[in-house]
Amino acid sequence: MAIEGPLRELGIHDVFQLLDLSRKTGTLRVFSELRDNAGTVLFENGKIISAAIRSNPHRIGDLLVRSGRLSDVDMARAQREQAQGDTRRLGEILVALGLVTTKEIERQMRLQIEAVVFELMSWREGFFRFEEGLDEEELPDAGVPISTESLLMEGARRIDEWSRIADRVPNLSVIPYLTPPDEDHPPMLDLLPQEWQVLALIDGERDLREMSATLAMSEFDVARIVYGMVTTGVIRLRQPERASRVAPLPRDPLPAERLTPIDQTAEPVRRGAAAFRRGDLREGIAVWSAFVAAAPGYPGHAAIAQGVDAATILWDVLEREAPDVG
């Protein structure tokens, strides 16, 4: 038996609560023509076991690679195992090969589910349809069940925070760019590692949804970080002149023997990022500067160059205003 209707009559929060309280097992599909988007959530006895959304279609492998937990070569290795007939789930293969832990797989799957559910909870228009029962083909992608009630509580909190963020960040299509430096009042940056990740991607071209997809970070977290940077004057926002450039990632990564030189240059990017995260600006600037000069064709070249500029500004400010006398 199907349950369906417009979200303007039965809000998405109420739909989730209904499925939770009635301990339903099945598939919930949500559509929005206004947003040109659609989401799918799998329930088992009222708990959520999987979720996906068209605007951010990353699979678990993509999330592990983009979060730095897995290299492109390791990902290709696991994909080859599947191509050669291994019927296990990708996560199971990765764990068996010793490339990631079961705990990390579960963590990434939970983050993916949370991101999808929290975005769906912000929808006020559209249409939903729930069909009982799960196909066997859907179950292999299911993860550890997550309490729907806990997600609803956190989602409500985020909706409240979204209302505050919307004052400066009206939507996910806005494009951030760095504020021109003020020689008389240079910016003082005191950023957390996750904030540096966002800052490094600001190139005046990407919108917030693209940045979220690239970083495998929730759209909420990207918007929250951008809000803080706008408030402190580090960046500004402009409305786009075109649609977002986000496109679904390829289903299968290239095998190791087919990687191009550009594909292999991601390692210096990760090494420089690791230096920035541990606070070693000198090494981070050196690694990324060399990379920018050596790989002009890298897809994220402009973003890395912007990161070098931002880190160099920070280094100059530190040397001038708070020199290390030790």
pLDDT digits (tens, 9 = 90+) for 61-83: 777 887 778 888 888 888 888 88
Q: Which residue has the higher pLDDT, 266 or 36?
A: 36
**Can you give the pLDDT at residue 254?**
35
DSSP letters spanning 244-292: ----PPPSSPPPGGG--HHHHTHHHHHHHHHHHHTT-HHHHHHHHHHHH
Q: How far apart are CA 281 and CA 288, in angstroms?
A: 10
Q: Which residues make Cβ contacts (< 8 Å) with residue 68, sequence separation at least 6?
A: 270, 273
Q: How far apart are CA 275 and CA 311, in angstroms?
A: 11
Q: How far apart are CA 303 and CA 12, in angstroms?
A: 36
**Bridge partners of residue 146, in order along the sequence:** 48
The mean pLDDT value for 134-140 works out to 64
pLDDT digits (tens, 9 = 90+) for 150-164: 998 888 888 788 778
pLDDT digits (tens, 9 = 90+) for 142-198: 567 899 999 988 888 887 887 788 888 888 889 999 988 765 555 567 788 888 889
**Residue 47 in this model has a pLDDT that exceeds 90:** yes
pLDDT range class, residue 291, cuts 50, 70, 90: confident
Q: Which amino acid is at 17?
A: Q
Q: Which residues make Cβ contacts (< 8 Å) with residue 282, sequence separation at least 6?
A: 315
Q: Domain coordinates of the chain in residue numbers? A: 2-163, 175-321
Tell me which residue of 283, 290, 291, 292 sits closest to 311, measured CA to CA: 283
Specify the length of the chain in residues.
326
Crossing angle of the two packed helices 148-165 and 219-231, in degrees rounded to 10:
30
Q: How far apart are CA 99 and CA 91, in angstroms?
A: 10
Is residue 152 within 8 Å of 51, Cβ to Cβ? no
Q: How far apart are CA 206 and CA 208, in angstroms?
A: 7
Q: Which residues make Cβ contacts (< 8 Å) with residue 179, sequence separation at least 6?
A: 187, 233, 234, 235, 236
Taking CA atoms, 90 is separated from 71, 93, 99, in Å, by 14, 5, 11
